Amino acid sequence: MRRRPEIVLLVVALTALHFTILAAAFIAPYDPAAQDRDLPYAPPTRMHFRDSSGWHRAFVYRWIPDRDGYRLDTSTRYPIHFFARGESRSVLGIFRSNLHLFDVDEPARLLLLGTDSFGRDEFSRLLYGGQISLATGLLATLITLAAATLMGTIAGYFGTWIDESLMAVGELFLCLPWFYFLVGARAFLPLHLSAAGTFLLLIIVIGIIGWARPARLVRGMVLSARNRNYVLAARGFGASNVYLLRRHILPETFAILVTQAALLIPQYVAAEATLSFFGLGVSEPVPSWGNMLSPLQQYNVLVSFSWLLAPAVALVITSVMYWLLADALHHWVQSHSIN
């Protein structure tokens, strides 16, 4: 790790990203489902520090609906309150808090990324939507890797017909076009479910479909670890299968699993986003990065309201960071296995 500062850097950056998303209830100025029918497609509010009367602490102006869009009402300044007390919100369903990072007084609104067609604050939705999208990615990856470790270890360790039949099933999953299969699998599951139900379903479907490739890698690792001299020696001393697996063989697969996780998470986040974009995933009013992009299928929305592309930017940032991490981890593991 000492010679790879970029890994540390990326892990820190990703942790920061995840904590920001996790703290949505604190950072988001508004409830993600709160509508304001007077302010559909309001552009982002800019933070100001000075006006004609000189410098002030950070403040915003209010959008007034106009014949053709919105105009700024520059007559009144609305200062931004930091660490303000506001409406009480549930934090991840564990406890309630009314502490917000920033807030402005009514009737002005702090719209950092504008609003969508229902006047909902895009920034708040981005944070809350990130919770759904990232949680899908993380949990589905967990399922994939658990299944892959189980199958790969069984196949690699016990060999013979077990190995062959498991790998045959794996090849079956590999030769199905991944995304078609995902959509196809989704086709057979109920379309209209509660948000929580859809969320769980998505995680399971996405997670299970991808098991084959990492399972192959795990199998290869187990296969080579099984015949190492120290494993053979331990077996000679009478070590049980469980002991051998836990003590000597599974730790060998750890590096592969971490690298695979860094590769799979962004892929699965994107899979959730794509399914939700098509209306097959998490549905309104619960936000996710995918269904927030969904209105952009209409060209006029796509052209006129560019701030609605914010979830796409979030997806890119997340994916690029995870990808760089996977790349760095891969090189790190490789350089270690050679030395």
> Binding to other proteins by residue 197, rule CB under 8 A?
no
Binding mask of the shown chain, residues 120 to 159, with x at each position contacting other proteins by CB under 8 A:
----------------------------------------
Q: What angle do CA 120, 88, 83 make, to 5 degrees?
A: 85
CB 174 → other proteins: shortest distance, Å?
A: 9
Choose which of 1, 94, 242, 303 interacts with other proteins (CB under 8 A): 303
CB 98 → other proteins: shortest distance, Å?
A: 35
CB 205 → other proteins: shortest distance, Å?
A: 10
| Distance of alpha carbon 280 from alpha carbon 297, whole angstroms | 15
CB 188 → other proteins: shortest distance, Å?
A: 3
Given the structure tokens 């809350």, which residue do they identify?
128
Q: For other proteins, which is the closer residue by CB, 255 or 324?
A: 324
CB 302 → other proteins: shortest distance, Å?
A: 5
Q: For other proteins, which is the closer residue by CB, 91 or 296?
A: 296
| Of 20, 45, 24, 21, nearest in space to 99 by CA | 24
Using DSSP, state whether 56 is helix, strand or coil: strand
| Distance of alpha carbon 122 from alpha carbon 82, whole angstroms | 20
Strand 54-66 with 48-51, pairing: antiparallel
CB 267 → other proteins: shortest distance, Å?
A: 8
Cα distances (angstroms) measured from residue 39 to each of 111, 238, 274: 10, 73, 28
Q: For other proteins, which is the closer residue by CB, 104 or 182?
A: 182
> Binding to other proteins by residue 282, rule CB under 8 A?
no
Q: For other proteins, which is the closer residue by CB, 73 or 164?
A: 164
Given the structure tokens 């060999």, which residue do they identify?
159
CB 300 → other proteins: shortest distance, Å?
A: 9
Q: For other proteins, which is the closer residue by CB, 172 or 196?
A: 172
Q: For other proteins, which is the closer residue by CB, 84 or 302?
A: 302
| Distance of alpha carbon 15 from alpha carbon 56, whole angstroms | 34
> Binding to other proteins by residue 184, rule CB under 8 A?
yes
Which structure tokens are listed for 183? 């959509």
Question: Of 32-40, 72-80, 143-151, 179-187, which segment contacts other proteins by CB under 8 A?
Answer: 179-187
- Per-residue DSSP letters for 282-317? S-TTS--HHHHHGGGGSHHHHHH-GGGGHHHHHHHH
Choose which of 8, 16, 47, 172 interacts with other proteins (CB under 8 A): 172
- Evaluate whether 308 touches 301 at the Cβ level (below 8 Å): yes
How many other C-beta atoms are found inside a 10 Å radius of the C-beta of residue 8? 12
> Binding to other proteins by residue 306, rule CB under 8 A?
yes
Which structure tokens are listed for 51? 């006006």
Choose which of 49, 82, 179, 254 interacts with other proteins (CB under 8 A): 179
Q: For other proteins, which is the closer residue by CB, 64 or 316?
A: 316
Helix, strand, coil: what percent of the chain each, to 5? 60, 15, 25
10 Å CB burial of residue 170 (0-12, 13-18, 19+) is: buried
Choose which of 16, 47, 162, 191 interacts with other proteins (CB under 8 A): 191
Phi, then psi, of 116 in degrees rounded to 5: -95, -165
CB 158 → other proteins: shortest distance, Å?
A: 20
Question: Of 9-17, 32-40, 107-115, 270-278, which segment contacts other proteins by CB under 8 A?
Answer: 270-278
User: What residues line the site for other proteins (CB under 8 A)?
Assistant: 168-169, 171-172, 175-181, 183-191, 266, 269-270, 273-274, 277-280, 290, 293, 296-297, 299, 302-303, 306, 309, 312, 315-316, 319-320, 322-324, 327
